[in-house]
Structure 1
Amino acid sequence: MDTSVIDLPTPVAGRLRRPGWRDPRLLAGLAMVAASVLLGSWAVRTAQATVPVYVTRAAMVPGDRITAEDLAVVDVRLGTVNLDHYLRADAPLAADEVVVRAVGRGELVPASAVGSAEDLDLRPVSVTLERAPSGDVVPGALVDLWFTPPAPDDDGATTDPRELAAGLTVAEVTTSSGAFSASGGGAVHVLVPSALLPDVLTALAADGTVDVVPVLGTGG
């Protein structure tokens, strides 16, 4: 029985072709790498970028004029705060601007805390104290004013203390010095709205005592 063998052609292994510079896949990969490098570099530069912003050297109260001597400059990193809300040091200070609300010592100066003196409807009033004020009564703190009538007469009539004004800003504190400083009162200068001036001034001129009561948490 005759058998015949048919010789089949030997398969040839295909060779991988090296991509050329015009290969779309190679160009797309290079573009992605370049974009990643640029994005990373931009993110690093942005994270390290800072903007100069003003902070107070001491507590400032409504009516205080804004001057460079009262402020210090700190560099604030972008992205940590909204810098549009604060007074930036890379812009000139206006000559006629004043503080319109209290700003604590070492705080960034809010843009909303700066304005014109014409916007203020406050008047400084000195309240003489018979006793030394609380340690919380400091410039920039908020206080309430209370009036206590004098001791009742022989008829036994009494009048309870009453609140004259609430949430007034302390502008200045002067204390007695010397041997009697512990018991002496000194004076506290508070900023009183014009509408409350008649009642406050009447109480200060009347027989009785006007006390300055601090609002806790505002004298830091």
Structure 2
Amino acid sequence: MDTSVIDLPAPVAARLRRPGWRDPRLLAGIAMVAASVLLGSWAVRTAQATVPVYVTRAALVPGDRVGADDLAVVEVRLGTVNLDHYLRADRPIAADGIVVREVGRGELVPASAVGSAADLDLRPVSVTLTRPPSQDVAPGALVDVWFTPPAPDDDTAPAEPRQLAGGLTVAEVTTPSGAFRASGGSAVQVLVPTDVLPTILTALAADGTVDVVPVPGTGD
């Protein structure tokens, strides 16, 4: 019986070709690496970038004019706060800028706290006290104004004190110095809304005593 042998071709090992510069996969990988480097560099620069913003040297109260002497400049990192909501030091301050709401000492100055005189619906009224005011009665603090009627001449019960207004901002405090301090005579200037003016002015012109009582935690 004849047996024939068929010679099969030897298998050829497949070789991986080195990708060329025009290979789309290589170009896509290079682009992704470059984009990652640029994005990381941008993130680092953004995190380190700062913007100059104004803070108050002392408490600002409604009616104050905003000047450079009242403010200090601090650098605030981008991304920590929305700087569009605050008064930035790299932009000019309006020459007629008026404080329309109180800003505490050392606080960033909100842009909404500065406006014009037309935006201010408050009027300063001076209240002369018969007793020295509390140390918490300071510019920028909030106070309640009370009126105590005079004691009656007969045996009838005295009228109870009544509150005239609450949460008024103190604009200025004038206190006698030295031996005259204990005798009273301090004057506290409070900012009164125009619709409350008649009540406050009537009480100041009447017989009786007007007192200012500080709201706890609002002093400078």
- TM > 0.5 between the two? yes
The answer for the alignment partner of 1:139 in structure 2 is: 139
Within a 5 Å distance, the mapping from 1:90-169 to structure 2 comes to 90-169=90-169
TM-score (norm 2): 0.92
CA distance in structure 1 between the partners assigned to 2:118 and 2:45 by the alignment: 43
CA distance in structure 2 between the partners assigned to 1:130 and 1:26 by the alignment: 87
Following superposition, which runs of at least 4 residues in structure 1 exceed 6 angstroms of deviation? none
Q: State the Cα deviation string for residues 158-211 of structure 1 (Å, max 9, x = none).
A: 311111111111001122322453564622110112222222122123222111
RMSD over equivalenced CA pairs, Å: 1.9
> Structure 1 residues 6-15 or 121-130, which shifts more?
6-15
CA distance in structure 1 between the partners assigned to 2:91 and 2:83 by the alignment: 13
CA distance in structure 2 between the partners assigned to 1:122 and 1:25 by the alignment: 70
CA distance in structure 2 between the partners assigned to 1:69 and 1:158 by the alignment: 50
Q: Is the 8 A contact 1:175 1:186 kept in 2?
A: yes
Q: State the Cα deviation string for residues 16-60 of structure 1 (Å, max 9, x = none).
A: 111100111101100100110111111111111111111111101
CA distance in structure 1 between the partners assigned to 2:82 and 2:35 by the alignment: 28
Going from structure 1 to structure 2, the CA distance change for 1:182 and 1:2 (only over 3 Å counts) comes to farther
CA distance in structure 2 between the partners assigned to 1:141 and 1:31 by the alignment: 59
Deviation, structure 1 residue 125: 1.4
Q: How much identity, in percent, do the aligned residues show?
A: 84
Within a 5 Å distance, the mapping from 1:1-20 to structure 2 comes to 6-20=6-20
Q: What SS does structure 2 have at the residue aligned with 1:181?
A: helix
* Matching of residue 74 in structure 1 with residue 74 in structure 2: yes
Question: One-letter code of the match for 2:77?
Answer: R
Q: Is the 8 A contact 1:133 1:185 kept in 2?
A: no
Q: What SS does structure 1 have at the residue aligned with 2:181?
A: coil
Deviation, structure 1 residue 93: 1.2
The answer for the alignment partner of 1:23 in structure 2 is: 23
> Structure 1 residues 147-156 or 22-31, which shifts more?
147-156
The answer for the alignment partner of 2:219 in structure 1 is: 219
CA distance in structure 1 between the partners assigned to 2:218 and 2:174 by the alignment: 19
Deviation, structure 1 residue 65: 0.5
CA distance in structure 2 between the partners assigned to 1:135 and 1:117 by the alignment: 30
> Structure 1 residues 61-70 or 202-211, which shifts more?
202-211
Unpaired segments ≥5 residues, structure 1: none
Q: State the Cα deviation string for residues 127-184 of structure 1 (Å, max 9, x = none).
A: 1222222232111111110001122321414311111111111001122322453564
Within a 5 Å distance, the mapping from 1:186-205 to structure 2 comes to 186-205=186-205
Number of positions where the alignment pairs a residue of Structure 1 with one of Structure 2: 220
TM-score (norm 1): 0.92
Q: What SS does structure 2 have at the residue aligned with 1:167?
A: strand
Q: What SS does structure 1 have at the residue aligned with 2:178?
A: coil
CA distance in structure 2 between the partners assigned to 1:163 and 1:211 by the alignment: 10
Deviation, structure 1 residue 5: 5.1
